[in-house]
Amino acid sequence: METPTTDEFARRISNAGLADRRDVDRALGEIGADATLEDVVTGMQRRGIITTLQTEKLLKGDRHGYFYGDYKVLYVIGAGTFARVYRASKGDEVFAVKVLRKRFRDEAKELEQFLREGRMGLRLRHPNIVSIIDVIPDVRNPFLVMEFVEGQTLRELVRLRGKLPADLALRLMGEIAAGLAHAASLGISHRDLKLSNVLISSDGKAKLVDFGLAALTDRKNPDQIADCPNARAIDYAALERGTGVRKDDPRSDVYFCGNMLYHMLAGQPALTETRDRLARLNISRFQEIRPLHELVPDVPGAANQVVQKAMEFNPDKRLQSAAALQAECRKALEILEKGPSERDNDGSAAGGHHDDDDVPTNEGEGYVVMLVESKANLQNAIRDRLKARGYRVLIIQDPGRALARFNPLDDPPADCVIFGCAELGTLALEAHNQFANDEHTRNIATILLADRKQARIISEAQRGENRRMLALPLKVRELRAALMQVLAGKQRRPPGTY
């Protein structure tokens, strides 16, 4: 197409709806009557009337693609196999608009997957997940409207810095795990975890993007999953086949989180990157991981342990959930903050090996525990250890308030109540006993934590099938065993309901 004159270029701006004709004419007057086309283009861009992307389309004579619905396209901010992402504006607000590529709009399978991703994303509202605001199913121009995040991808950050300090890497991974845990509570996994699918906002917060592979309609067919052209989908399929787990096992996301944390700490991924399909399907790729400490000799032991637990090849020995990974990252950060010379309250070395009691599991998923305790350090210790095993933990300091929460007309807010007597003393004892006597709480399990010196409390505490008493100081294995006993046969709550 012929190069337009300055007047024709100005007309194209207003005809495309990018600016009012009066604003365009005013800008032309300021630029000057003798200005060249190059001068006009530069002047319009400097005045914010058009962007570089819009300029390229205007010069080519394109009549479409300047708007998606009411959203004005400003710049391309990302491009993948199936979609492009644009920075767009609507009024004074800025959004990200994800548009399915033209060649896939007539493909029913790809179109449905794209729309399913959007509809699924509408359910995800979490500080560490990029929000999808609207889904426009126009068959000619389907697009998703998303929260715009000012910043860069995690891949860009690692490429820029080479490798990240352990505390920063653990903090970011903890935030990623928090977003995954929220999605998991709704029955949603990610299935495409890699550094480029994490955005780091201008204030340093990690936000997950692109749950597209989680929306695959043929998830139940392993052969079709393996045939997916997305490389990460092949990685997931290979890992799950090689370890004999079901499709969409939540521990697969945990494994690839471990790979991301390794990448942040070492500046390179644990898994060798290749485009060779057969190499990706080779299970030895997941088993022959070079130890992190060989690449980073000064890596803190606490950070290295999180990587090892997340990337454990045996899924039964791996961290069992995103929530467990989040708890491990928090624990490792606390260890780094304390320094190598300090010790935990229970006397174990801060940087030492975690015994079996400290290995997170998912045994508590589907259960809610209420802890009635006034000592902040004991609150934190019990809450962290139980959350690492999948329990949801509610904290209350007043035994009377805890009793009041169990209204006979409402569903019980917790499946088990733990009363701490160290400071609450008789108040905790009386609440424990009242749970055993009142008709509407008689079937709610309770555990009483008492110091061995509190003889009267120990002697007066009611016991029974769903009543337990444990001695302080508390051992993790004892609390776990007591919880499993009193909750035996208790139906777990469905994901997203607790």
Residues acting as catalytic residues: 192
Structure token digits, residue 497? 């309901």
Q: Residue 27's closest CA among 8, 9, 40?
A: 40
| CATH architecture of the domain covering 67-147 | 2-Layer Sandwich (3.30)
Whole-number pLDDT of residue 138: 83
Contact 365, 322 (CB under 8 A): no
Q: Residue 163's closest CA among 295, 265, 294, 270?
A: 265
Contact 361, 373 (CB under 8 A): no
The helix/strand count (H/E) of the chain reads as: 21, 14
Q: What contacts 124, CB < 8 A, 6 or more positions away? A: 131, 132, 182, 183, 186, 188, 211
Whole-number pLDDT of residue 231: 57
Q: Residue 63's closest CA among 3, 11, 139, 105?
A: 11
CA distance 192 to 454: 53
| Bridge partners (DSSP) listed for residue 73 | 88
Provide CATH code, domain 363-486. 3.40.50.2300
Q: Residue 370's closest CA among 494, 491, 486?
A: 486
What superfamily in CATH does domain 152-338 come from? Answer: Transferase(Phosphotransferase) domain 1 (1.10.510.10)
Whole-number pLDDT of residue 327: 94
User: In this structure, how many other beta carbons lie within 10 angstroms of the beta carbon of residue 102?
Assistant: 10
My answer on whether omega of the bond before 473 falls inside 30° of 0, hence cis, is yes
CA max distance for the chain: 100
Q: What contacts 214, CB < 8 A, 6 or more positions away? A: 117, 120, 183, 188, 189, 190, 191, 192
CA distance 463 to 498: 28
SS3 87: strand
Domain locations along the chain: 6-60, 67-147, 152-338, 363-486
Whole-number pLDDT of residue 339: 63
Whole-number pLDDT of residue 477: 79
CA distance 386 to 448: 16
Provide block-wise average pLDDT over 10 residues at a time, the chain (498 residues).
Answer: 86 92 92 90 92 92 89 87 87 90 78 83 90 87 90 91 92 96 88 91 90 49 44 80 84 94 95 78 84 86 91 91 94 82 37 41 84 88 83 91 90 94 91 91 92 88 87 83 87 75
- Write out 138-203 in H/E/C secondary structure: CCCCCEEEEECCCEEEHHHHHHHHCCCCHHHHHHHHHHHHHHHHHHHHCCCCCCCCCHHHEEEECC
CA distance 60 to 1: 7
Whole-number pLDDT of residue 297: 84
Whole-number pLDDT of residue 496: 64
pTM: 0.62
Contact 371, 377 (CB under 8 A): no
Q: Residue 263's closest CA among 154, 130, 180?
A: 154
| Strand arrangement, sheet containing 416-420 | 392-396, 368-372, 416-420, 445-451, 467-472
Was 98 annotated as part of a binding site? yes
